Amino acid sequence: MTDRQLSPLADDLTMWAALRRHTQARIGLGRAGSALPTRHRLELQAAHAAARDAVHSPFEPEVVAAGLTGEPTVRVRSAAGDRLTYLQRPDLGRRLDDIDRAHLPGGDWDLVFVVADGLSSRAVHEHAAPMVRATTALLDPGVRVAPVILAEQARVALGDDVAHAMGAAMVVVLIGERPGMSAADSLGAYLTYAPRPGTTTDADRNCLSNIRPPLGLSYETAASKLATLMGRARELGLTGVGLKDESDSPPLPLPVPSSGALPPNLRSSNAGGAGSFSPSGV
Amino acid sequence: MSTYTSTLGGHRYRFDSLARLLAAASPERSGDRLAGLAADSAQQRVAARWALADVPLAQFLAEPVIPYEDDDVTRLIVDTHDLAAFAPVAALTVGGFREWLLSEAADAETLAAVSAGLTPEMVAAVSKLMGNADLVAVARKVRVVTAFRSTIGLPGRLATRLQPNHPTDDPAGVAAALLDGLLLGSGDAVIGINPATDSPKAVRDLLELLDGVIQRYQIPTQSCVLCHVTTSVDLMERGAPVDLVFQSIAGTQAANASFGVTLGLLDEAYAAAGELNRGTVGHNALYFETGQGSALSADAHHGVDQQTVEARAYAVARRYDPLLVNTVVGFIGPEYLYDGRQILRAALEDHFCGKLLGLPMGLDICYTNHADADDDDIATMLTMLGVAGASFVICTPGGDDIMLNYQSASYHDALYLREVLGLRPAPEFEAWLDGIGLLDERGAIRDVSGTAHPLTAIGKELAA
């Protein structure tokens, strides 16, 4: 038992330090009896707290609006009245509140951005406005961009409802992803051409995940991919499985499952294959 | 279809089918609400349980919850039902069945003998009348023993899956997490990786990495890289070192189709794995994962509540004599199991139902960060499932899976459970741990941090 009281030898410390270069996994934590040392227990709790706070922090649309420097915005809510309902009823998070739907500005829009809180308001507060700015900067001047919609208690498919109600040809939903313990501020971007509420499925979307500079995808890279996808979508008249991301860029950093509705088969195949990636829960 | 009624609080409740009755009798859970199947009120829920308690077990054979013509899992359940095994409980109602299960008459031998006579719907039904303690008490009596290179499910033993996942399948990163788990005495159920892609090349590389470590250190365990069953079959044909064939399965034909599997494909994989014959102490070569909510998530639940559909997945599993079956209990998210309370209940139900149906049940005791749960829920679940006699649990470094972004039990948690309940690793693995100097004089895992342990050669080579 006495060896448990000893400090780790220098070469052991060196070994774990060297191994940590290869993985972010919480390895070589040491022991207090059978349990974790106090420091590591508290570190885990801190990471979990950051993730929990990201899920439950209220969405502040004015934070995003302030970052958009003058672009018009419209605030809407989903049919999920509060966070508890939102987490348990993805169907309601996909539907606009009826009063809000009636007040959306209709028009001959080519594109509408929907900034949706999803599962991390923090991701949206930090990354949504810069992403809108970076993406619009790459668009052809002739593209008619609708006012940015700021949506609360919203899942990805809420964008279908918004775009359909406004008469927009294409929608980009920028949404806070499911927080992991090492990334609580990851933003996802979902592009859908000609969305129709109720009939459009996740197979009809293209997704960019883990927008989170400096550790994840940068705004410039994400915006450039998105703009390329939008151009191709307009040519082909579709998004989704028929539209591949062929933009020439380095491989994406750590894949972050962005969904709250991952079927268990994703444990065998996170990046595709049968059953495949389903972003529906965001 | 029959109609079921009961009167409670001066109100007469009516349920139009066995499926509706089962759903209404289920404990509160967000997935059943999402599916529109949950009881409308607390009183209706209890009324459903009163009505369910009076249903004869034989009624479940007469009224399949999903029609025979529509679903191959129903056909499997009906066609393989063993009437002779069913005979001792054939005259019981669901309520009577609960009392029989809890009685001394239902000992380990009796439960094993009746297992083939039970259907998933029968065990799901009785679980709805049981409290959490009932689920523990009965599951604890059931023994299911399987073996490949280690023996799983013996009394007084708890095995673990060592899960050294890495988000880009980096071999050095995987090996580092593998070393961490071995030094904490983990890995006797399986050393199992969820790869980042389903590419056969990537899967093969990981299989060879694991096989190399297992052979070099003569570890009595088995590896698994959790890829689609068709990938495994393909790799086996090409001579890759496949120990266990993995697949996620669900309780309806349509939900299995959404995973890209059919019973025919599983039959093929079962035959192929049997031919390889890589086990040393046994020949159970399949590994299945399940979890409540997958059928609803695939829009393939046929109006059946999520726990009953989950139990039906066990009928699929038991056809293939698996080494391991685990329910990934809190993985899919709070729209299916909202909080620690719902996840615990589901874990106990799944374990109970799987065990009664004759399966080597383990659990991935876990949650996602948007569920209302924390590490105290993990500790509660672990302790209850340990008492209930779970065959194995899944363990990750620090309880944090950096590939799948969810929280699970840790290697430390398994040490805790073995210590407080006096549980030991699988016998072959225990002997290996002892031989390599990882057991102390009490048989507990020695803390070797800071000592020159032979296994750290794995790490030193990587670190060099």
- For B56-69, the pLDDT digits (tens) are 999 999 999 999 99
- CA–CA distance, B407 with B95 (Å, rounded to integer): 37
Q: What is the count of residue pairs from A and B with beta carbons less than 8 Å apart?
A: 248
pLDDT exceeds cutoff 60 at A9 = no
pLDDT-derived band at A246 (thresholds 50, 70, 90) equals low
The minimal CB distance from A52 to the residues B167, B369, B419 is found for B369
Residue A70: the pLDDT is 83
Mean pLDDT of chain A: 84
Q: Mean pLDDT, to the nearest integer, of B92-106?
A: 98
The alpha-carbon gap from A204 to the nearest alpha carbon of chain B, in Å, equals 16
Beta bridge partners of A176: A187
Residue A245: the pLDDT is 64
Question: Which residues lie closer than 8 Å to A222 by C-beta, 6 or more apart?
Answer: A131, A134, A135, A189, A208, A211
**Residue B296, SS3?**
helix
Is residue B366 within 8 Å of residue B408, measured between CB atoms? yes
Report CB contact under 8 Å: A88, B261: no
pLDDT-derived band at B456 (thresholds 50, 70, 90) equals confident
Closest CA to A22 of B167, B161, B395, B406: B167
Mutation test of the interface with chain A: which of B335, B366, B411, B448, choosing the one with the most A Cβ atoms within 10 A? B335
Residue bearing the bigger pLDDT, A275 or B138: B138
Is residue B283 within 8 Å of residue B326, measured between CB atoms? no
* A111: phi then psi, degrees, rounded to nearest 5: -150, 140
- CA–CA distance, B358 with B338 (Å, rounded to integer): 29
pLDDT exceeds cutoff 60 at B23 = yes
Report CB contact under 8 Å: A23, B173: yes
* Region of residue A190 (phi > 0: left; psi between -120 and 50: alpha; otherwise: beta): beta
With CA atoms as reference, the chain A residue closest to B417 would be: A34
Q: At A83, which amino acid appears?
A: R
pLDDT exceeds cutoff 50 at A254 = no
Percentage above 90 pLDDT, chain B: 93
The minimal CB distance from B290 to the residues A55, A264, A266 is found for A264
Half-sphere exposure of B6 (CA within 13 A, CB side): 18
- CA–CA distance, A44 with B51 (Å, rounded to integer): 46
**If 0-12 CB within 10 Å is exposed, 13-18 middle and 19+ buried, where does residue B24 land?**
buried
pLDDT in tens, A14-61: 788 889 999 999 999 999 999 999 999 999 999 999 999 999 999 999
Report CB contact under 8 Å: A255, B167: yes
pLDDT exceeds cutoff 80 at B380 = yes
pLDDT in tens, B264-288: 999 999 999 999 999 999 999 999 9
Return residues 221-250 of A near B (CB < 8 Å). Answer: none
Judged by a CB distance cut-off of 8 A, whether residue B200 touches chain A is no
- CA–CA distance, B421 with B426 (Å, rounded to integer): 15
Annotate A147-177 with DSSP letters as a single string: PEEEEES--TTHHHHHHHHHT-SEEEEEEEP
The alpha-carbon gap from B172 to the nearest alpha carbon of chain A, in Å, equals 6
Judged by a CB distance cut-off of 8 A, whether residue B247 touches chain A is yes
Is residue B87 within 8 Å of residue B47, measured between CB atoms? no
Is residue B429 within 8 Å of residue B158, measured between CB atoms? no
pLDDT-derived band at A198 (thresholds 50, 70, 90) equals confident
Is residue A132 within 8 Å of residue A148, measured between CB atoms? yes
Tokens at B443, concatenated: 């048989």
How far is C-alpha B434 from the geometric centre of its chain's CA atoms?
A: 29
pLDDT exceeds cutoff 50 at B367 = yes
**Residue B439, SS3?**
strand
With CA atoms as reference, the chain B residue closest to A184 would be: B369
Judged by a CB distance cut-off of 8 A, whether residue B251 touches chain A is no
Annotate B331-366 with DSSP letters as a single string: -S-TTTS-BHHHHHHHHHHHHHHHHHTT--EEEE--
pLDDT exceeds cutoff 90 at B461 = no
The minimal CB distance from B335 to the residues A31, A90, A184 is found for A90
Is residue A95 within 8 Å of residue A158, measured between CB atoms? yes
Residue A280: the pLDDT is 30
Give B55-59 contacts, CB < 8 A, sequence gap 24+. B55/B4, B55/B18, B55/B21, B55/B93, B55/B94, B55/B125, B56/B91, B56/B92, B56/B93, B56/B94, B57/B86, B57/B89, B57/B90, B57/B92, B57/B93, B57/B94, B57/B97, B57/B122, B58/B90, B59/B2, B59/B18
Output helix, strand, coil percentages for chain B, rounded to the nearest 5: 50, 15, 40
pLDDT-derived band at A277 (thresholds 50, 70, 90) equals very low
**Tokens 């013996």 sit at which residue?**
B154
Report CB contact under 8 Å: A267, B289: yes
Residue A180: the pLDDT is 87
Report the complex ipTM: 0.92
Residue bearing the bigger pLDDT, B199 or B79: B79
Percentage above 70 pLDDT, chain A: 83
Mutation test of the interface with chain B: which of A14, A88, A201, A266, choosing the one with the most B Cβ atoms within 10 A? A88
Tokens at B212, concatenated: 């190399």
Is residue B250 within 8 Å of residue B313, measured between CB atoms? yes
Closest CA to A110 of A229, A219, A194, A190: A194
pLDDT-derived band at B82 (thresholds 50, 70, 90) equals very high
Burial B230-252 (b: 16+ CB within 10 A, else e): bbbbbbbeeebbbbbbbbbbbbb
Residue A262: the pLDDT is 34
- CA–CA distance, B430 with B440 (Å, rounded to integer): 11
Judged by a CB distance cut-off of 8 A, whether residue B268 touches chain A is no
First to last CA, chain B: 69
* B362: phi then psi, degrees, rounded to nearest 5: -125, 180
pLDDT exceeds cutoff 70 at B260 = yes
Report CB contact under 8 Å: B375, A45: yes
Tokens at B257, concatenated: 């189709």
Judged by a CB distance cut-off of 8 A, whether residue B405 touches chain A is yes
**Residue A190, SS3?**
strand
Q: Mean pLDDT, to the nearest integer, of B41-50?
A: 97
Judged by a CB distance cut-off of 8 A, whether residue A266 touches chain B is yes
Radius of gyration of chain A (CA): 21
Judged by a CB distance cut-off of 8 A, whether residue B432 touches chain A is no
- CA–CA distance, B454 with A256 (Å, rounded to integer): 36
Closest CA to A266 of B146, B223, B406: B406
pLDDT-derived band at A265 (thresholds 50, 70, 90) equals very low
pLDDT in tens, A72-97: 999 999 999 999 999 999 999 999 99
Tokens at A43, concatenated: 């570190």
The alpha-carbon gap from A179 to the nearest alpha carbon of chain B, in Å, equals 6
Residue A10: the pLDDT is 63
pLDDT exceeds cutoff 60 at B414 = yes
Judged by a CB distance cut-off of 8 A, whether residue A38 touches chain B is no
